[in-house]
Amino acid sequence: MSDIDSQDDSNMSADDAEKPSKDGHIGEQSVSGPGGTPKTSLLEARDPDAFDKPTLITTRSRLAKDFRFRVMCILTACASVLILVFLLGSILGAGIPTLSWTLLTGTPEPEPENAGMWPALMGTLWVCTMCALITLPLGIGTAILIEEFTPRNRIARQVLALIQLNITNLAGVPSVVYGILGLTAFVSMFSLFDNSDNADGPSMEVGAVYYDQFSNVASDPFIDTGDTEAEERYFLFPVETRDAPSTVPKTGMLAYENSEGGLKEVEIIAIDPFADDAPTDADALSRTIDSTSDPGRISEKQWYYLRLPFGRGVVAGALTLMLVILPVIIISTQESLRAVPGTLRAGALGLGATPWQVVWNVTLPSAIPGIMTGSILAMSRAIGETAPILIIAGIVYIRSAPQHLMDDYTVMPLQIYNWTSRPQEEFHNIAAGGIVILLAILLTFNAVAVLIRHRMQNKLN
Amino acid sequence: MSSALSKAKSPELEAKVQKLLERQKKNLSWVRLREKGIFLCLIGCGLFSLLITGSIIFVLTSETITFFRFEEVTLGNFLLSTEWTPLLGNTKSFGIWALISGTLLVTAIAMLLALPLGLVTAIYLSEYAPRRVRSTLKPILEILAGIPTVVYGFFALMTITPFLQWCYDGFNIYNAMSAGIAVGILCFPTVCSLAEDALQAVPSSLRDGAFGLGGTRFDATIKVILPAALSGIISAFLLAIARAIGETMIVALAAGSRAHVTINPGDEVQTMTGYMVQIAGGDVSNFGIEYYSMYAVAFTLFLITLSLTMIGNRIRKKYRETYD
């Protein structure tokens, strides 16, 4: 900072340095001239070039200075355009050749040529949709509270001022700090819900069914099935909770089997390989389970599956992004509410409307284009936000799109970061391809926002 | 009015009016209830933002205290030492200055680029540019501001670093210079739009006055408008610095991961944010000492950026030249 200032100063002082030589000369002239009263000389002693020297030379040098500054300005502005062109050019140059259908719809395989970002794309969709659903009502509500309700007493006024100050400061908090907050508040929930017996799992969950999975004896090497061949089948026994004791299969029990039309009930036969013989009938054999084998505990989760603490799931990511973009949405909504002319409000109040009726029927409808523009821009920020997601989700290898609200996920910027930080050149290229996809989405968002704003301006005019 | 109506018309109508009035009354009480309910909801929304701040402070403080409870860590070591070696088995040292110096180096390079460029472009946009140029440049700046930081990180690592190495051999693959330049490009639109807002807020009567006295555009800008907009410009600078200090993905990708005190821009450095990403993205066990060191670093970062933001906003409010 100080470096910059001194640089600016030195630029200016270099300009100033050539000025006094001319100015000093002219200053003498004017003092010795008839107009040189003691008063002007006093003023000139204070600031020699603040006042009139309307000679040709000075004007010309000042005009020259103005011209030089204008050229410098134009060059700087061109530089900013050049930077953008260079940035986009280098990324598009590397990214466009790698664009392919696989990149869009594939999974992040370890081989760069087969790798794609479908899970990341869906992750971004899930997280950002949830984030928007949570943040928009909260943010718009806060902005309405600050802008539209005049506090009646001193305490209310102070609370509103505090909220306003707080939002301004929240907007300056680095997003990585929000990631840290999300890690404690949403992922582990202050360790409030840790259960003593099983430290890994959640302590409370809704919407999950657990099964014990057995395979039939067809591929069991310890069982002599004779000549009978049977295809491999898997049977599921529902269990009460995640850590319930394993099911012991018995002949005649009903088990579920995954089939094309969903779960199907099947009667099973359980044998002890050391005591019993395997059935010789192919159908019976395919339904036979080794009763001494250990089942695998699998779970089926509904889309509304909920657990506490949230863990590294979609909800935790959405809530963390909510922290990041809430101040942005509040500030932009405030601005568009402020732009609504006060006469509209006064008119509605004069007709006997209550404060909320004014807000709902008058202010909000006129402010909605501005609010939408701000919200879309905030959402595009949420889509591009990497650091907080990286902090709470870590770099995990995700092969499928999220299936429920607590599912593990990755987002597009995180996938790009992952690919960029690998040493192989090929991954850098597909990272560039990923960036092109990401930028295309963001540019669409921005274009929509600009379009809405443009339309609104036309309407107002 | 109802009595007047009922006098004039039949009792049928009177009953009707009475009914309407009653409904109106019911309606009104419901409206009042709804009004109260909605107001309470809105207050809840407002208090939620206070809750966020409260929980940031609570989380960072409590977890930082846990960090200092570890016997390997002392406050003196944290505040005074310049060695940051949390991942070295037996010789762990937590001297925050190693990370702060890396952050400051990257930020200094970024600001050296972003502040003068941003200010001059803001002056151009506000004072010189014809309307058509303005209406093309502003969207370009908005696009620059909307590009995700991870893209700038990619740009730094894949374009700026090779270019720097081509210019001069001494640059490491990961270096502070390349990260600093990318952070500078990132902050440039911020500086520019905030400074332009400040310049635009100066009333045009001041400008006209300067022109009327025979000043050129340059005179008007440097001697009248810049001093009048100074508080806004300084606050824009401070906000940009806060943004650069908190920038994460660029430094995580391009600056490297060796925490040490240096002023050599070609050297690998680690910033506070870079360290947090390294810990969060790595295989460090949860609830170990490295995990908690992340909170201590975040606390330091939060204090620095919060004070910069607060000072910036205060300067803008307090020293604003007001013209009525």
- Are B58 and B183 members of one domain? no
The minimal CB distance from B237 to the residues A1, A3, A432 is found for A1
What whole-number distance in Å separates Cα of residue A31 and Cα of residue A369? 62
What whole-number distance in Å separates Cα of residue B25 and Cα of residue B17? 12
Phi/psi of residue A5, nearest 5 degrees: -60, -45
Please, which pLDDT band fits residue B291 given cuts at 50, 70 and 90? confident
> B76 CA to chain A: closest CA distance, Å?
24
For residue A72, the chain B residues in CB contact (below 8 A) are 120
Please, which pLDDT band fits residue B8 given cuts at 50, 70 and 90? low
Mutate to test the interface with B, among A12, A180, A379 (most CBs of B within 10 A): A180
Residue A66 contacts B, CB cutoff 8 Å: yes
The predicted structure's pLDDT at residue A272: 79
Q: Please report the residues numbered 98 through 157 in chain A whose beta carbons come closer than 8 angstroms to any beta carbon of chain B.
A: 137-139, 141-142, 144-146, 149
Kindly state whether residue B83 falls inside one of the protein's structural domains.
Answer: no
- Are B311 and B238 members of one domain? yes
Token match 């410098």: residue? A72
What whole-number distance in Å separates Cα of residue A360 and Cα of residue A349? 12
Please, which pLDDT band fits residue A302 given cuts at 50, 70 and 90? confident
Judged by CB atoms closer than 8 Å, whether chains meet at A163 and B149 is answered as no
What whole-number distance in Å separates Cα of residue A444 and Cα of residue A287? 55
Q: Residue A220 burial (CB < 10 Å; 0-12/13-18/19+)?
A: middle
Domain boundary at B19, B53, B69, which? B69
With CA atoms as reference, the chain A residue closest to B124 would be A73
Domains: count for chain B: 2
| The Cα angle at residue A175 between residues A441 and A450, in degrees rounded to 5 | 35
- Are B52 and B102 members of one domain? no
The predicted structure's pLDDT at residue B296: 94
Gap between the terminal Cα atoms of chain A: 42
What whole-number distance in Å separates Cα of residue A451 and Cα of residue A445? 10
Handedness of CA B218, B224, B225, B229 (dihedral sign): positive
What whole-number distance in Å separates Cα of residue A161 and Cα of residue A276? 80
Q: Please report the residues numbered 330 through 369 in chain A whose beta carbons come closer than 8 angstroms to any beta carbon of chain B.
A: 330, 354-357
Kindly state whether residue B80 falls inside one of the protein's structural domains.
Answer: no
For residue A385, the chain B residues in CB contact (below 8 A) are 148
For residue B152, the chain A residues in CB contact (below 8 A) are 87
Judged by CB atoms closer than 8 Å, whether chains meet at A177 and B298 is answered as yes
The candidate with the shortest Cα–Cα distance to A269, out of A278, A258, A257, is A278
Kindly state whether residue B76 falls inside one of the protein's structural domains.
Answer: no
Residue A378 contacts B, CB cutoff 8 Å: no
For residue A138, the chain B residues in CB contact (below 8 A) are 45, 48
The predicted structure's pLDDT at residue A179: 94
- Are B45 and B139 members of one domain? no
Residue B166 belongs to domain with CATH number = 1.10.3720.10
DSSP notation for B271-323: -HHHHHHHHHHTTPPTTSHHHHHHHHHHHHHHHHHHHHHHHHHHHHHHT----
The predicted structure's pLDDT at residue A57: 53
Please, which pLDDT band fits residue A362 given cuts at 50, 70 and 90? very high
Query: B290 or B253: which carries more pLDDT confidence?
Result: B253
Is the distance from CB of B179 to CB of B102 less than 8 angstroms? no
With CA atoms as reference, the chain B residue closest to A438 would be B148
Is the distance from CB of B175 to CB of B142 less than 8 angstroms? no
Residue A437 contacts B, CB cutoff 8 Å: no
The predicted structure's pLDDT at residue A371: 93
Question: What are the tens digits of pLDDT across the range A426-449?
Answer: 899 999 999 999 999 999 998 898
Please, which pLDDT band fits residue A420 given cuts at 50, 70 and 90? very high
Kindly state whether residue B82 falls inside one of the protein's structural domains.
Answer: no
The candidate with the shortest Cα–Cα distance to B176, out of B268, B277, B261, is B268
- Are B292 and B203 members of one domain? yes
What whole-number distance in Å separates Cα of residue B267 and Cα of residue B175? 5
Reduce the DSSP state of residue A303 to 3 states and report it: strand
The predicted structure's pLDDT at residue A35: 40
Question: What are the tens digits of pLDDT across the range A39-90?
Answer: 444 444 445 555 555 555 567 788 888 899 999 999 988 888 898 898 889 9
DSSP notation for B134-194: HHHHHHHHHHHHHS-HHHHHHHIIIIIHHHHHHH-TT--SS-HHHHHHHHHHHHHHHHHHH
Mean pLDDT of B44-65: 94
The predicted structure's pLDDT at residue A444: 92
Q: Residue A12 burial (CB < 10 Å; 0-12/13-18/19+)?
A: exposed
Judged by CB atoms closer than 8 Å, whether chains meet at A420 and B47 is answered as no
CA-to-CA separations, A437 to A2, A118, A376, A386, A434, in angstroms, rounded: 40, 11, 18, 16, 5
Residue A286: which residues within 8 A CB-CB, separation 6 or more?
A216, A218, A230, A231, A233
Is the distance from CB of B110 to CB of B187 less than 8 angstroms? yes
Mean pLDDT of B21-43: 89
Question: What are the tens digits of pLDDT across the range B119-171?
Answer: 999 999 998 989 898 888 888 888 888 899 999 999 999 999 999 999 988 88
- Are B58 and B105 members of one domain? no
DSSP notation for A63-83: HHHHHHHHHHHHHHHHHHHHH
The fraction of chain B above a pLDDT of 90, given in percent, is 56
Residue A398: which residues within 8 A CB-CB, separation 6 or more?
A108, A119, A120, A123, A408, A409, A410
What's the DSSP call for residue B127?
Answer: I
Q: Please report the residues numbered 179 through 238 in chain B whose beta carbons come closer than 8 angstroms to any beta carbon of chain A.
A: 185, 188, 192, 214, 216-219, 221-223, 237
Is the distance from CB of B294 to CB of B279 less than 8 angstroms? yes
Question: What are the tens digits of pLDDT across the range B197-247?
Answer: 999 989 989 999 999 988 888 989 999 999 999 999 999 999 999 999 999
The fraction of chain A above a pLDDT of 90, given in percent, is 36
The minimal CB distance from A386 to the residues B63, B149, B159 is found for B149
Mutate to test the interface with A, among B52, B152, B185 (most CBs of A within 10 A): B52
Please, which pLDDT band fits residue A263 given cuts at 50, 70 and 90? confident
| The Cα angle at residue B300 between residues B249 and B190, in degrees rounded to 5 | 45
| A325 pLDDT higher than 80 | yes
- Are B195 and B301 members of one domain? yes
With CA atoms as reference, the chain B residue closest to A441 would be B147
The predicted structure's pLDDT at residue A300: 80
Residue B278 contacts A, CB cutoff 8 Å: no
Strand pairing category for A262-267 and A269-271? unpaired
ipTM of model: 0.89
- Are B161 and B248 members of one domain? yes
Question: What are the tens digits of pLDDT across the range A6-48?
Answer: 444 444 444 444 444 444 444 334 333 344 444 444 444 445 5
- Are B198 and B295 members of one domain? yes
- Mean pLDDT rounded to a whole number for chain A: 81
For residue B243, the chain A residues in CB contact (below 8 A) are 172, 174
Kindly state whether residue B91 falls inside one of the protein's structural domains.
Answer: no
- Are B209 and B274 members of one domain? yes
What whole-number distance in Å separates Cα of residue A60 and Cα of residue A68? 12
Mean pLDDT of A413-423: 92
Residue A184 contacts B, CB cutoff 8 Å: yes
Burial profile A168-183: b = 16 or more Cβ within 10 angstroms, e = fewer: bbbbbbbbbbbbbbbb
Kindly state whether residue B89 falls inside one of the protein's structural domains.
Answer: no
Query: Domain limits at B28?
Result: 2-69
Residue A337: which residues within 8 A CB-CB, separation 6 or more?
A143, A144, A147, A148, A363, A367, A370, A371
What whole-number distance in Å separates Cα of residue B177 and Cα of residue B110? 8
- Are B139 and B257 members of one domain? yes
Domain boundary at B69, B85, B107, which? B69
The predicted structure's pLDDT at residue A200: 58
What whole-number distance in Å separates Cα of residue A394 and Cα of residue B281? 5
What whole-number distance in Å separates Cα of residue B45 and Cα of residue A141? 6
Question: What are the tens digits of pLDDT across the range A183-217?
Answer: 999 988 887 776 555 555 677 778 788 888 888 77
Judged by CB atoms closer than 8 Å, whether chains meet at B123 and A73 is answered as yes
Token match 């502040």: residue? B115
Kindly state whether residue B309 falls inside one of the protein's structural domains.
Answer: yes
The fraction of chain A above a pLDDT of 70, given in percent, is 82
| The Cα angle at residue B107 between residues B101 and B111, in degrees rounded to 5 | 145
Kindly state whether residue B256 falls inside one of the protein's structural domains.
Answer: yes
Mutate to test the interface with A, among B57, B120, B221 (most CBs of A within 10 A): B120
The predicted structure's pLDDT at residue B48: 93
What whole-number distance in Å separates Cα of residue A147 and Cα of residue A145? 6
Judged by CB atoms closer than 8 Å, whether chains meet at A184 and B137 is answered as no
What whole-number distance in Å separates Cα of residue A379 and Cα of residue B102? 31
Tokens (6 digits) for A439: 């930028």
Tokens (6 digits) for A301: 């989760």
Is the distance from CB of A186 to CB of B319 less than 8 angstroms? no
Tokens (6 digits) for A128: 């950002």
- Are B55 and B143 members of one domain? no
